[in-house]
Amino acid sequence: MTPELTQIAVTLVIFLALFLGSGLWIALSLLGVGWIGLTFFGTVPVEKSLATSVWGTMASWTLAALPLFIWMGEILFRARLSEILFRGVAPWVRWLPGRLMHVNVVGCGIFAAVCGSSAATVATIGRMSLPELKQQGYDQNLSIGSLAGSGTLGLLIPPSIIMIVYGVAADVSIVRLFLAGVFPGLMLIALFMGYIGLSAILKTGSVPLDDLKTGFREKLRRSKGLIPVVLLIAAVIGSIYLGIATATEAAAGGVIGALLLSAWTGTLNWKTFSESLLGATRLTCMIFFILTGAAFLTTSLAFSGLPAALAGWIGSFNLHPFALMAALCLLYIVLGCFIEGISMIVLTTTVVLPLVTSAGFDLIWFGIFVIIVVEMAQITPPLGFNLFVIQGLTGISIFKVARATIPFFCLMIVGVVLLTIFPEIATWLPSTMDTR
């Protein structure tokens, strides 16, 4: 890069670090750095650029799915779904090595498919599973670690809030992203359950003896509460895959289904309805505010020519594509120690996507790759959100919680490696849309 562009880059990074370090909201930090970039290094009026970038970002039909999916998750969060999932899943996993420990993984996987939020998934499943597992004498570290790791599935298994954010930032199909997340999500579930089973076999005493025998008819009776949840998942994802509905239309249907499910469980009243609506509004406004700040910063950087120059500079090193992915993986893990997932996505897209495209990687595949890495950041101290949620549920030190999640962090690294070696894990299902 030229000395002038280097000076611009260093100046903007310093101001961004100062703003974030001072505790200023992320959205305001992005807006502030964008204003500095245009005012001192640009030639376009700030007010015109701000209006254009904000309107261009917000006037997106794709983004309409975001508040709807968030609202669906908020409704189900208050519908005693954790109790339904625990009672419904438990009879089916008792025969596996690790027994009820698998409820954390399967329960999080199911709830992730109707929620899309990692923190909400951990909080909902953990409220029911952690006290029950502790009471029955299961290994606490394995219980906590499996919950923290499995809770990250809320970002990967569709519908996912962060997938929508990435899709808008990278200008790729939300529907294809949703489909691309299915098999990687199942892959992580298989890795987690395999580790739990192996740990139960190798570590005697981590799982209590269980002589309870449950007949097939009794299993079905206990699982009847799962049927509406499974139907809701099938309706939302199936309608998207079959082309019956767009992501936004499927989200609207999901809200209706969530309201019906809440009514069926007896939790739908004015209080829960208003709380879910206000909760969805607050989270949506926060995400939209961050997207607005990122859009303005992106516009500011574009006028300076910095992203293209930085991408060209990194490209001049002629890194092997796998080496580039390893470097990006490390970058996102480090950023995840200080910044939450959505902010990471919107903050890095402008610089990272040109590199990924020039290396020949598919942007749909990269979206799944980066979401798994962001998932890893959810259980990375000091700002791993899932760690704080579990600390609030258990009262255990954040460092003990983090230590318990290390095996599942390593399993996610295995998942990233498998996804890189076999990209078809993410790309095959979206490609089937072209053959129908």
DSSP states along 29-89:
HHHHHHHHHHHHH--S-HHHHHHHHHHHHHS-SGGGHHHHHHHHHHHHHTTTHHHHHHHHH
How far out from the chain centre does Cα 363 lie?
Answer: 17
Q: What sections of 265-317 are H helices per DSSP?
A: 270-304, 306-315
Give which of 153, 152, 164 is closest to 66, Cα–Cα: 164
Distance of CA 105 to the CA centre of its chain: 15
Residues of the chain predicted below pLDDT 70: 1-2, 5, 42, 57, 59-60, 62, 81-82, 115-117, 204-216, 218-220, 222, 225, 304-312, 315, 337-340, 381-383, 433-436
The single-letter DSSP state of residue 432 is G
Look-up of token digits 């070696």: 421
How far apart are alpha carbons 332 and 345 in whole angstroms? 9
**Whose CA is closest to 277, among 293, 294, 262, 292?**
262
Q: What does the buried/exposed string (b/e) look like for 411-431 if buried means 16 or more CB atoms within 10 Å of the residue's CB? A: bbeebbeebbeebebbbebbe
Q: Measured between alpha carbons, how far is 126 from 129 in angstroms, rounded to an integer? A: 5
Whether residue 146 contacts residue 105, with contact meaning beta carbons closer than 8 Å, is answered with yes
pTM, full prediction: 0.79
Residue 423's pLDDT is what? 92
Rg (CA), the chain: 22
pLDDT digits (tens, 9 = 90+) for 172-222: 888 889 889 989 999 999 999 999 888 888 876 656 666 556 666 766 676
